[in-house]
Amino acid sequence: LNTIAVLTSGGDAPGMNAAIRAVVRTAIYRGLKVKGIKKGYNGLLNEDIIDMEPRHVSDIIQKGGTVLGTARCLEFKRPEYQKKAADICRKHGIDGIVVIGGDGSYRGAQALSRQGINAVGIPGTIDLDIACTDYTIGFDTAVNTAMQAIDKVKDTSSSHERCSIIEVMGRHAGYIALWCGIANGAEDILLPENYDYNEQEIVNHIIESRKRGKIHHLIINAEGIGHSTSMAKRIEAATGVETRATILGYMQRGGSPTATDRYYASIMGARAVDIMLEGKTNRVVGYRYGEFTDFGIEEALMMQKDIDRYQYEVARMLTI
């Protein structure tokens, strides 16, 4: 191993910069050369590749987003482009590539590894929806950002005795919704994992909890469920309780990463490089059962995870 490269792909997440910094500095510390690939697989196909030195990653650990830029690259799903990308890696002397991103990005990494380029993935997504790991870069920051925003909305909601529907990110996975549901004390949590929620039950719940003396009613709605504004109108009509929808949106994806995200991203970035130096190929870094570990990409992509039923039940129990 002589030269490695690093790229960020898919949706950006706070903490990706800490991972980039760790990859660059670990590699150089261990005597390797490092290149940065801009804008994900797009940048690789366009040969948007720069040399990285330790000072290039100065002063970025505290910044949200990704200094390398990220993109979605649909072409990369096609074998001819995967082959082209591997040829470009060989042309630039890149023997190994660290891909920071979600499941989709891992599939791209798997494709590169099939073309003979050693690829190692690092879990980067605010959605926490990567099965092989209990931690993904950006989740902690996103959930804290959402929690703080929801606290603010809840203040007004309580003062005016309103019902609030707050839509948080999570198109396919409800981890942000579940965590905020517990952390903000929401009365109802709507997750994409159990999409068959019953609006009449929510209406009944609001009416009952008014009777029990609750002055606000907070509903956390995951993005994957959507329709928060029209839901608010229907709920207001059915309950007579003033109901407002707030869609938090992209604010949840940005901002300075928490200590947890900086710390885990740094360890994972270093691990990705050290895994390659140990001679391992085509792996993804994970954190499971309290330890940093790694899995084969194929194995990682076959694993499944789902919202823990007990944790969901706790959220419901605690809102009586």
CA-CA distance, 35 to 144, in Å (whole number)? 32
Question: From the CB of 41, what's the least distance to ligand ADP, in Å?
Answer: 4
Q: Which of 253, 232, 230 is nearest to 242 (CA)?
A: 232
Strands 163-168 and 118-123 come out as unpaired
316 binds ligand ADP (CB under 6 A): no
Candidates 7-15, 53-61, 89-97, 206-214: pick the segment binding ligand ADP (CB under 6 A): 7-15
185 binds ligand ADP (CB under 6 A): no
Annotated catalytic residue within 48, 51, 95, 127: 127
Contacts of residue 6, defined as CB under 8 A and 6 or more positions apart, other chains included, come to 20, 23, 24, 34, 35, 36, 37, 52, 68, 97, 98, 100
Question: From the CB of 281, what's the least distance to ligand ADP, in Å?
Answer: 18
CA-CA distance, 311 to 242, in Å (whole number)? 30
Q: Rank residues 105 and 282 by Cβ distance to ligand ADP and give the closer one.
A: 105
Q: Is 27 known as a binding-site position?
A: no
**How wide is the angle at C-alpha 266 spanned by C-alphas 264 and 271, nearest 5°?**
95
Exactly one of 104, 226, 254, 255 binds ligand ADP (CB under 6 A); that residue is: 104
Question: From the CB of 183, what's the least distance to ligand ADP, in Å?
Answer: 24
Contacts of residue 66, defined as CB under 8 A and 6 or more positions apart, other chains included, come to 8, 12, 13, 16, 17, 20, 100
178 vs 133, 173, 257, CA distance in Å? 17, 10, 20
Q: Is 169 known as a binding-site position?
A: yes
What is the footprint of ligand ADP within residues 118-177 (CB under 6 A)?
Answer: 125
Q: Rank residues 176 and 202 by Cβ distance to ligand ADP and give the closer one.
A: 176
Candidates 102-110, 172-180, 217-225, 297-305: pick the segment binding ligand ADP (CB under 6 A): 102-110
Q: Is 250 known as a binding-site position?
A: yes
Q: Is 285 known as a binding-site position?
A: no
Question: From the CB of 125, what's the least distance to ligand ADP, in Å?
Answer: 5
Q: Which residues pair with 82 in a beta bridge?
A: none
17 binds ligand ADP (CB under 6 A): no
DSSP 189: E
Q: Is 186 known as a binding-site position?
A: yes
Q: Which of 82, 115, 109 is nearest to 296 (CA)?
A: 109
- Would residue 188 be called left, alpha or beta, if left means φ above 0 and alpha means ψ between -120 and 50 degrees? beta
Exactly one of 4, 11, 266, 271 binds ligand ADP (CB under 6 A); that residue is: 11
Candidates 106-114, 203-211, 242-250, 279-287: pick the segment binding ligand ADP (CB under 6 A): 106-114
What is the footprint of ligand ADP within residues 59-78 (CB under 6 A)?
Answer: 72-73, 76-77
101 binds ligand ADP (CB under 6 A): yes
Secondary structure (DSSP) of 260-304? HHHHHHHHHHHHHHHHHHTT--SEEEEEETTEEEEEEHHHHHH--
**How wide is the angle at C-alpha 126 spanned by C-alphas 124 and 128, nearest 5°?**
80
Candidates 8-16, 115-123, 142-150, 311-319: pick the segment binding ligand ADP (CB under 6 A): 8-16
Q: Is 262 known as a binding-site position?
A: no
Residue type, 138: G
Answer yes or no: 127 catalytic. Answer: yes
CA-CA distance, 284 to 245, in Å (whole number)? 39
Residue stretches of the annotated binding site for substrate? 125-127, 162, 169-171, 223, 244, 250-253
What are the residues binding ligand ADP (CB under 6 A)?
9-11, 41, 72-73, 76-77, 101-105, 107-108, 111, 125
Residue stretches of the annotated binding site for ADP? 21-25, 154, 185-187, 212, 214-216
Catalytically annotated residues: 127
Residue stretches of the annotated binding site for ATP? 11, 72-73, 102-105
